[in-house]
Amino acid sequence: MTDDLVLLAILMFAVTYPTRAVGLLTPGLDHLPKVAFDYLQLVGPAVLAALAAVSVMIVVGDDDVPSFHVGVEWVAV
């Protein structure tokens, strides 16, 4: 079981690291227009907010049927 998890972690690293490393290794990233640079800085928080919103808005009941939920939890997101 542990060997499978280690293999999965290595596979996830191999797949996701190149996309993250491009931003670090690209020398011309600081030469982008200010508008583009500001936009790129907001992509990460926007993705996290979208994931949080889906987790709050969609509730799975005891019968494993997802449903749309409106509640006070939306304020937290």
Contacts of 30 (CB under 8 A, 6+ apart): 37
Which of helix, strand or coil describes residue 65?
Answer: coil
Rounded distance between C-alpha atoms, residue 44 and residue 29, angstroms: 17
Angle at the Cα of 37 (from 48 to 75), degrees rounded to 5? Answer: 30
Q: Which residue in the block uniquely carries the two structure tokens 């006070």?
A: 72
Residue 29's pLDDT band (cuts 50, 70, 90):
low
Give the tens place of pLDDT for each residue, 67-76: 888 878 777 7
Higher pLDDT, 32 or 15: 15
| Predicted pLDDT at 10 | 92
Rounded distance between C-alpha atoms, residue 44 and residue 42, angstroms: 6
